[in-house]
Amino acid sequence: MFKNILYNIHMETKFLTPRTVFLGGSGNVKRIGIGGNEPVSIQTMWKAGISDICENDGKLKELLKQINTLKSLGCDILRFAVPDKKSAESLVKIQSCTDMPLVADIHFDYRLALECLKGNVAAVRINPGNIGTRERVEQVVEACREKGAAIRIGVNTGSLPKELSEKVEKNEISRAEALAETAAREAAVFEELKFDQYVVSMKASSVLETIEANEAFAKKYDAPLHIGVTEAGPLITGIVKSTMTFTHLLNEGIGSTIRVSLSSSPENEVIAGREILHETGKRKGGVTIISCPRCGREGFDVHGFVQRWQNELLSMNKNITVAVMGCVVNGPGEGKHADLGIAGAGGKAIIFKKGKIVRTVNDADADNAFREELDSF
């Protein structure tokens, strides 16, 4: 069954083209379109609390510095947990200091969403079903309408309505069907209020369930989908699950924005998302890094060099391929297609362009020489 779903795609399957939802555009916040003909955007989530930001200028300055790093790596949208009023006030302040669209992640207390919307926060993430009465939902919707903010409906396997959970337990419906049905019910509330600026996400920790839920929804509804595997695991496990899920869905035209959820740093989430979009042809341009895994022939510290240079290279506005190779066997030979490369042997580092050696330097001078050649592009 799993193989059939992932690889034997029926050509007659039709999925609706998602309409466009806009985030940002108020004040200094960059306006980003999700869905329609807009490029697939990359999201991540801040991993720490922000309740003391308003009282700590130093922490705010450091946070903004990290936001700029995420932006330079390719992050388009950043989400923050907002569990209390101080966090809401802090998010408003953070948004006033950055043009990256920020999303307030709200659970249960609709007043926190209203507090965030006093500023130019680009979107709020809520479940209409867990913030109380219809009147409370309407207040959030009207505040978003007034501010030009969007809403993300977030559904996961832990937030299913009781009767759907019971049906899943009795094997009357699948968990994926329950996810899609829950999302449809939540979206119907906004449709009744004539509010169409919402994005839907349906996440499970299972690749198969996530794929099936998003396919089921995309057959019937045109809301843009934020795709991701929730609680995907540590770095390697999470990237594997996310790659399988995103590649399948994106190749079907499903998914307008993504997050690779990892028990790792936001930077690694963004880099992983960026590489998945690059390899699926959904995002072009930027620096491409190729590097060898290293072996007993190693004459150059590939791992150390990549670790030092990765974020800087990926942040550059250059459309080039950079090769980092460990020895003369896979140096200029296997990396000959690279615009710029570095390899080494015997305490020396060689720098090559399109397979031709242009410089030979001592290992100690390798970084400086590499930078000089990189600056020439």
CA dist., res. 35 & res. 199, Å (int): 9
Q: Calculate mean pLDDT across residues 122-130.
A: 85
Average pLDDT of the chain?
A: 91
User: For residue 318, how many other CB atoms are within 10 A of its CB?
Assistant: 16
Give residue for tokens 């998302």.
273
Q: What is the pTM of this model?
A: 0.91
Residue 169, pLDDT > 50, answer: yes
Where do the domains of the chain lie, and which CATH numbers do they carry?
2-279 (3.20.20.20), 288-375 (3.30.413.10)
CA dist., res. 349 & res. 336, Å (int): 16
Query: DSSP string covering 86-152, please?
Result: HHHHHHHHHHHH--S-EEEE--S-HHHHHHHTTTT--EEEE-GGGS-SHHHHHHHHHHHHHHT-EEE
Residue 208, pLDDT > 60, answer: yes
pLDDT band at 156 (very low <50, low <70, confident <90, very high): confident
